[in-house]
Amino acid sequence: MKLGSHVSVSGKGLLAAAQEAYSYGADTFMLYTGAPQNTIRKSIEAMYIEEGKKFMEDHGLKDIVVHAPYIINLASPKSDTFGLGVEFLQKEILRTEVIGSSYIVLHPGSHVGSGEEVGLNRIVEGLNEAIRPDQSCFIALELMAGKGSELNYKLEHTAYLLDKVKYNDKLVVCLDTCHVHDAGYDIINGFDDMMEEFDKIIGLDRLKVLHINGSLNPRGARKDRHANIGAGEDNPKGKDHIGFDALRYIVHHEVAKDKPCILETPWLDKKTNLYKQEIAMLR
């Protein structure tokens, strides 16, 4: 089992991220190369890459994950939004390779009114433009909650993308527990059933990254609002509708073995998160 959380590259880049992860008792972590809401990025030279790698090697941190920014929308019917998404994804792939990560997690996109079929084909087009056949990292398509016009909230969507993208050997899957719960999959009482369905539709060999989050909503709400692991009514950020037992079962499940399991649970305030406590609980 590899447990970690989202960490910041503020300040000394990869070194700062690794040091923060280590302080939580993690053995892996996930980072954004900059703010997820914009395209502003530090130069690679200012990211303390070698220092970060050395700290990771010395402290047993490995199999780290990069997350692409939310502003990338490959499903967009707007040519400028689509073009920006493709171009920036190409740059993020390069950064992921330099950082030394094997996975960049991507929200595939929202069709914003063009319809699911059109949106999915637009994602195929974008991935075909962005992926290099010789790239060393994989794009992990994140399973989504289905809020608004968001795509990839069904396993069948992922299967379609895998079937249509030219260099689909560079595509894998990221399973987010909040997202799939909110999309309607029963991971509380039927995680094994979902994994059986996943294997039939996609193939378990494609599952490479897990995001471990509670949900503030009942199953099928299609809201995507994360909760702290097993939080009760007294939690200031709200109750977890998935529950500790189900999430602990998942991180200890065979399908999660040796894969990075990343927490993206809410901060209680600007200075307080529960990553250290939640990682210890799940272990």
Q: pLDDT, tens digit, for every residue of 28-40?
A: 999 999 888 888 8
- Average pLDDT of the chain to the nearest whole number: 97
Confidence of residue 190 (pLDDT cuts 50, 70, 90): very high
Confidence of residue 259 (pLDDT cuts 50, 70, 90): very high
Total domains present in the chain: 1
Query: Would 281 be classed as within a structural domain?
Result: no
Query: Would 227 be classed as within a structural domain?
Result: yes
Query: Would 91 be classed as within a structural domain?
Result: yes
Determine the structural domain holding residue 214 and report its residue range.
Answer: 2-273
Query: Would 282 be classed as within a structural domain?
Result: no
Query: Would 85 be classed as within a structural domain?
Result: yes
Query: Would 256 be classed as within a structural domain?
Result: yes
Residue 179, annotated ligand binder? yes
Query: Would 283 be classed as within a structural domain?
Result: no
Residue 224, annotated ligand binder? yes
In angstroms, how far is CA 227 from the centroid of its own chain? 16
pTM over 0.85: yes
Q: Mean pLDDT throughout 32-54?
A: 91
**CA-CA distance, 269 to 271, in Å (whole number)?**
5
Q: Mean pLDDT throughout 94-121?
A: 98
CATH number of 82's domain: 3.20.20.150
Residue 163, annotated ligand binder? no
Residue 80, annotated ligand binder? no
Confidence of residue 4 (pLDDT cuts 50, 70, 90): very high
Helix-strand-coil split of the chain, %, nearest 5: 40, 15, 45
Residue 67, annotated ligand binder? yes
Query: Would 41 be classed as within a structural domain?
Result: yes
Residue 226, annotated ligand binder? yes
Residue 264, annotated ligand binder? yes
Residue 253, annotated ligand binder? no
Q: Mean pLDDT throughout 169-180?
A: 98
**CA-CA distance, 112 to 265, in Å (whole number)?**
27
Residue 27, annotated ligand binder? no
